[in-house]
Every structure is written in C-alpha cells, then in structure tokens.
Amino acid sequence: MASGKLIKKGAEAELYLTEYNGKPAVLKRRIPKPYRIPELDFHIRRTRTRREARLLDRARRAGVLTPVVYSVDDERMEILMEYVSGTRVKEFLLSGGDIGIMRDVGRSVGTLHSNRIVHGDLTTSNIIIRDGKLVFIDFGLGEVSDSIEDFAVDLVCFEKSFQATHYDVMDDAWPLFLEGYRSVFPRAPEVLRRVDEVKRRARYL
Ligand SMILES: Nc1ncnc2c1ncn2[C@@H]1O[C@H](COP(=O)(O)OP(=O)(O)OP(=O)(O)O)[C@@H](O)[C@H]1O
Ligand SMILES: [Mg+2]
C-alpha cells in the first residue's frame, strides 16, 4: 500500500492520509516498540490490529458510526479505513462547544455496551463529530464482553481522562453523559453501582 501523507504519529501507530477508490482514506499502521521482546511485540500489534478492525465493524452493525474498514493487513499491521472529516469532541468542547453533546456520547457508549462492545480507550480524542453525528475510532484496546466489571472500567477510564482534559465543564457535562448512557442501556444502574465500587477499590490501592 502506498502510505500517503503522515497525519499523526501516536504512541502506538502512525496514521497516513491516503486514498481508496478516489476517496480520502486513513492508513493506520502499528509500529514496533523497541523495548518489547520482538515476538511479543508482533503478537500485541497483530492482536490489536485484528481486534480494531473487527470492533469497528461490530460497532457499526450495532448502530454506532465508525469509519468503514476497507482492508486489513495483519502482517504489516495496517488498517485502511474511511477518512472521517470533522471535529473531535475534544476540540469541540475545548473551544466552548455545547456540552449537550455529552448526552449523545453517553447514548453511543450505552449502545456499544448494550451490544457487548467495550471500547477500551474512551477519550474525547477518539470521537469525531461529522455532520452533527458522532463517529467512534481507536478500538484497538477494546473487546467483546458481557461483564459488568468491564463496562464499569470502561466508564471509570473515560471519566478520568475526561476530568483531566475537560475539568472546567466536568461537573455540568458528566451528568449529561450518564443521563444518555442510562437512557439506552438497561443494565446501566448495575454498571454505575460497580463504577463506585471500582473507584473505592482504586482509592485503597
Ligand atoms: N478514520 C479517521 N478519520 C479521520 N481522522 C482519524 C481517523 N482515524 C484516526 N484519526 C485521527 O488520528 C488520531 C489518532 O488516531 P487513533 O486514535 O486511531 O490512533 P492512536 O495511535 O491510538 O492515537 P492516540 O494514542 O492519540 O489515541 C485521532 O485522534 C484522529 O484525530
Ligand atoms: Mg486515539
């Protein structure tokens, strides 16, 4: 695959802007980590590449928008996917955008969990607003699970990263997220009780 223009070099992957059938596309390539044992490194990158491609499709079938996966190469650790043109929820909120968006984020996360999809890296950098709709990306740490504990940990991690990035709107925005989450996911009360427990445990450690 021709790589195209580097748009981002993340902690884990390089992202290139390229084309697929004349349409803008993103190539996400997981790069080797020199500090990992090579066999283990290969295994981790392959697992995350496969997992990400699978979950992007699964989430879309569940009704949560994600970039269309055009191809996966689990030797080169590459995913070629649709380019999502828009603004990330992070920049939207940091520039004073309406915190009501967090209700929609909550509904989408509730829909993922209803369909047994744990995202694994919920942050406002991993949600893009396109034409007023939310598109979720970066599922490499996700999994299919039915466990209340896994759902709770997904929320606790999100809350932590949200608090760190959006502390100024946290107190007003987070309840909206929870409202959206509760409105679509019947097991939300159970998950939210577990969230409190996970936080209590974390404090004792
Ligand atoms: N399909 C896409 N369309 C448009 N932009 C994208 C797409 N995929 C990724 N990006 C952009 O590249 C950034 C990094 O992508 P991604 O989160 O998948 O990689 P990452 O290596 O896990 O990065 P990070 O460590 O920052 O989370 C995203 O925050 C987003 O700005
Ligand atoms: Mg990311």
| Domain identity same for 17 and 100 | no
Of the ligands numbered here, which is closest to the C-alpha atom of 138?
1
**Amino acid 2: pLDDT:** 56
**Average of per-residue pLDDT across 93-111:** 98
Question: For the chain, what is the mean pLDDT?
Answer: 96
Q: Which of ligand 1's atoms lies nearest the C-alpha of 10?
A: 21
Catalytic residue among 121, 138, 150, 154: 121
Asked if the model's pLDDT at residue 77 lies above 80, the reply is yes
| Domain identity same for 198 and 107 | yes
Q: How many domains does the chain have?
A: 2
At residue 79, what is the residue type?
A: I
**Average of per-residue pLDDT across 63-67:** 98
**Amino acid 4: pLDDT:** 86
| Domain identity same for 151 and 73 | no
Q: Which of ligand 1's atoms lies nearest the C-alpha of 52?
A: 18
Q: Does the beta carbon of 89 lie inside 6 Å of ligand 1?
A: no
Domain of 96? 87-204
Q: Is 121 a catalytic residue?
A: yes
pLDDT in tens, 164-175: 999 999 999 999
Q: Does the beta carbon of 91 lie inside 6 Å of ligand 1?
A: no
Compute, in angstroms, the gap from residue 151 CA to the centroid of ligand 1. Answer: 22
| Domain identity same for 78 and 91 | no
Q: Does the beta carbon of 10 lie inside 6 Å of ligand 1?
A: yes
- The structure's pTM equals 0.96
Q: Which of 82, 110, 142 is the last residue of a domain?
A: 82
Strand arrangement, sheet containing 5-9: 5-9, 13-20, 23-30, 78-82, 69-73
Confidence of residue 11 (pLDDT cuts 50, 70, 90): confident
**Average of per-residue pLDDT across 120-147:** 98
Contact at 8 Å (CB) between 84 and 67?
A: yes
Q: Does the beta carbon of 122 lie inside 6 Å of ligand 1?
A: no
**Amino acid 81: pLDDT:** 98
Q: Which of 28, 55, 82 is the last residue of a domain?
A: 82
| Domain identity same for 99 and 33 | no
Instruction: Tell me which of 1 and 187 has the higher pLDDT.
Output: 187
